[in-house]
């Protein structure tokens, strides 16, 4: 077994491929088996993960080691009472133990809940409470945050902390030998997406959603995998982009995956990592590319292909990548509920700067008018994708009404406005709701507003995105203050409150005090009116 079977030929005739493509989803498909155990049985010494610590030291994890560790952690989780469809949370930076936890939970038929280490106590408490997570794996850096919210998450029965004591416990356990017989349609991963008019929503995905990502990955990396490939992304593996656009596909195909616990993105460190670790394929979000462009590249790089998504990249940035990175950038589009549905694949189609690309084989993507009819070529409407692709989520966790609202008949509505020309190329126009796109993150305003409203000086708050050349948008808060309070007296405290209680990447970069917020007749904040007041909107 040199590589797992490809779904797309290495150099396809794209239109013929789309016309002939059919999904093949085995009934018994398991992510843990396909990304770990089968490799461990066939090639136990094959390198799965190459972990580069913050001090630069390198630790190699073979598939055999990954299987042994996940088997033992599965045994520990079983002692915790974890069983089919229980939720197991992971609060860790990039490291091999993230994958150990994924596979251990899946071997029990449990559902994995990936969490950002940047999340503050409020954000963590909501997700742990809403999901009803029973067990959690973390490191010493997050223990204090978790201790502060334990009384808010009564379902969380076990918290395991990486370290020598954890290693000793695992070493004394016999491995879990009989994985639960999961099916392709069984739930596997719960990823929370942005909330706009309410709290974040948990998008529940089945094991089959890995298969749904593979055609796009194969195409945008110009025939992935190739012999000698090494993969890396700075994107956190708690984000669907970091986890499913690169990390899991690498493990599925037997491609060595670089893990590195990155903090604030450093372009020089990124260049050094790519060069020193021989990275050939990378997922680099648009903001990372823009920051790297501002730094000096250290001579020839081993990159052969870069994937990027989250916003449209201009022709100048694409040309820079070819010239300086020595690798073409292929763009793609998707969202947490149904990822990697559109691709602009170098080598497979004509690249048109400003366009997201064409629908990936196996995805039926259209533009719908407000009345639900299909738009004419180049007419702006809502981007929608038909049910039936394995990449599509099962449902929203505990929010059946939101699941219903996400669909119009057989079409899943993205909330994004776009157009499709006569040649099948899609362009993005705008969000049709209040989600903010900033530095590759899709941010909902509700959590931030609730946090600001909890400050004693704030009467009411509204949050919107405003244009920014580096991050696409930045978070801006409009606040109504209590009588006698000036913005300068509380601005820093408000920013810090969001940083600490929700997450640093959600903290407002701009705050404006207003006398009143625009409201509808039913008392809802009109965020669109606030966005329209901003330059460039």
Own/partner contacts of 486-494, CB < 8 Å, gap of 24 or more, are 486/513, 487/511, 487/512, 487/513, 489/457, 490/455, 490/457, 490/458, 493/455, 494/452, 494/455, 494/457, 494/458
pLDDT of residue 196: 55
Q: How many CB atoms lie within 10 A of CB 376?
A: 12
Four-point Cα dihedral 219, 221, 222, 224, nearest 10: -90
Out of 256-265, 396-405, 431-440, 491-500, which region has the weakest mean confidence (pLDDT)? 431-440
Kindly give, in sequence order, each residue whose CB lies less than 8 Å from that of residue 158, ignoring residues fewer than 6 positions away. Answer: 77, 80, 134, 135, 136
Round to whole Å and give the CA distance between 386 and 29.
22
Q: Could you tell me how far CA 195 lies from the centroid of its own chain?
A: 15
Q: What is the pLDDT of residue 310?
A: 75
Mean pLDDT of all residues in 146-167:
95
5 confidence band (pLDDT: 50, 70, 90):
confident
Domains and CATH numbers, the chain: 30-182 (3.40.50.12780), 436-532 (3.30.300.30)
Whole-angstrom CA distances from 268 to 94, 206, 278, 528 are: 19, 38, 15, 39
| pLDDT attached to residue 354 | 81
Q: What is residue 327's predicted lDDT score, i.e. its pLDDT?
A: 94
Q: Is the pLDDT of residue 537 over 50?
A: no
Compute and round to an integer the Cα radius of gyration of the chain. 23
Residue 522 has a pLDDT of 44
Closest by CA to 231, choosing from 292, 274, 267, 276, is 274
Average confidence (pLDDT) over 316-340: 91
CA 22 – CA 24 distance, rounded (Å) = 6
Per-residue H/E/C for 104-168: HHHHCCCEEEEECCCCCHHHHHHHHHHHCCCEEEECHHHHHHHHCCHHHCCCCCEEEECCHHHHH
Could you tell me how far CA 402 lies from the centroid of its own chain? Answer: 20
> Given this model, what pLDDT does residue 517 score?
85
Q: What is the pLDDT of residue 479?
A: 92
pLDDT digits (tens, 9 = 90+) for 388-432: 999 999 999 999 999 999 999 999 999 888 899 999 999 887 666
**Least-confidence region, from 187-191, 331-335, 443-447, 470-474:** 443-447
Q: What pLDDT digit, counting tens, does each position of 242-251 carry?
A: 999 999 999 9
What is the model's pLDDT at position 534? 65
Is the pLDDT assigned to residue 1 strictly greater than 70?
Answer: no
For residue 383, what are the β-bridge partners? 367
Q: For residue 440, how many other CB atoms are within 10 A of its CB?
A: 23
Cβ atoms of 360 and 341 within 8 Å: the answer is yes
Contact 24, 232 (CB under 8 A): no
What is the rounded average pLDDT for all residues in the chain? 91
Residue 368 CA to residue 380 CA, distance in Å, equals 8
Q: Are strands 257-259 and 47-52 parallel, antiparallel or unpaired?
A: parallel
Give the pLDDT confidence score for residue 268 in this predicted structure: 94
Which phi and psi (to 5°) does residue 13 adopt? -80, 105
Q: Looking at 151-160, 213-222, 320-329, 332-341, which range is the least confident one?
A: 320-329
Question: What integer pLDDT is reported at residue 402 of this predicted model?
Answer: 94
Helix axes 121-131, 445-453, angle to 10 degrees: 120
Across the range 253-269, mean pLDDT stands at 93
Whole-prediction pTM: 0.86
Reply yes or no on whether the pLDDT at 51 is more than 60: yes
Which pLDDT belongs to residue 195? 61
CA distance 355 to 363: 17
């Amino acid at each position: 077994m040199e590589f797992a079977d490809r779904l797309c030929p290495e150099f396809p005739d794209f239109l013929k491929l789309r016309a002939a493509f059919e999904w093949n989803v085995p009934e018994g498909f398991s992510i843990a088996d396909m990304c770990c155990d089968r490799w461990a049985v066939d090639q136990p010494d094959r390198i799965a993960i190459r972990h580069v610590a913050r001090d630069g030291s390198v630790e190699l994890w073979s598939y055999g080691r990954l299987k042994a560790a996940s088997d033992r952690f599965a045994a520990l989780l079983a002692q915790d009472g974890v069983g089919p469809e229980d939720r197991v949370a992971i609060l860790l930076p990039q490291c091999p133990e993230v994958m150990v936890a994924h596979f251990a939970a899946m071997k029990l038929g449990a559902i994995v809940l990936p969490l950002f280490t940047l999340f503050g106590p409020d954000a963590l408490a909501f997700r742990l409470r809403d999901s009803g997570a029973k067990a959690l794996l973390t490191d010493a850096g997050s223990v204090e945050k978790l201790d502060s919210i334990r009384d808010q998450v009564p379902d969380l029965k076990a918290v395991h902390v990486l370290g020598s004591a954890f290693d000793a416990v695992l070493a004394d356990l016999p491995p879990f030998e009989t994985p639960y017989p999961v099916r392709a349609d069984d739930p596997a991963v719960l990823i929370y997406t942005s909330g706009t008019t309410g709290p974040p929503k948990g998008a529940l995905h089945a094991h089959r959603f890995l298969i749904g990502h593979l055609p796009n990955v194969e195409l945008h990396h110009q025939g992935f995998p190739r012999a000698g490939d090494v993969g890396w992304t700075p994107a956190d593996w708690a984000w669907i982009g970091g986890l499913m656009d690169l990390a899991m596909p690498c493990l599925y195909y037997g491609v060595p995956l670089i893990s590195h616990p990155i903090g604030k993105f450093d372009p020089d460190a990124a260049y050094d990592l790519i060069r020193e670790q021989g990275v050939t394929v990378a997922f680099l979000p648009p903001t990372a590319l823009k920051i790297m462009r501002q730094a000096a590249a250290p001579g020839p790089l081993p990159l052969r292909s870069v994937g990027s998504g989250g916003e449209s990249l201009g022709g100048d940035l694409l040309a820079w990548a070819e010239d300086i990175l020595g690798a073409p950038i292929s763009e793609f589009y998707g969202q947490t509920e149904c990822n990697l549905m559109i691709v602009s694949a170098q080598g497979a189609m004509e690249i048109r700067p400003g366009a997201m690309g064409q629908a990936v084989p196996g995805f039926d993507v259209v533009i719908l008018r407000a009345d639900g009819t299909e738009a004419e070529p180049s007419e702006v409407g809502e981007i929608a994708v038909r049910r039936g692709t394995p990449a599509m989520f099962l449902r929203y966790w505990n929010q059946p009404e939101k699941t219903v609202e996400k669909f119009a008949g057989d079409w899943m509505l993205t909330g994004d406005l776009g157009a499709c020309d006569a040649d099948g190329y899609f362009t993005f126009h705008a969000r049709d709701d209040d989600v903010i796109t900033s530095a590759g993150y899709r941010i909902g305003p509700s959590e931030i507003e609730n946090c600001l409203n909890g400050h004693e000086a704030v009467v009411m708050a509204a949050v919107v995105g405003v244009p920014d050349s580096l991050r696409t948008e930045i978070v801006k808060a409009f606040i109504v203050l209590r009588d006698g309070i000036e913005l300068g007296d509380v601005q820093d405290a408000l920013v810090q409150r969001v940083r600490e209680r929700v997450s640093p990447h959600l903290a407002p970069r701009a705050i404006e005090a207003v006398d009143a917020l625009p409201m509808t007749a039913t008392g809802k904040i009109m965020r669109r009116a606030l966005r329209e007041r901003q330059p460039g909107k």
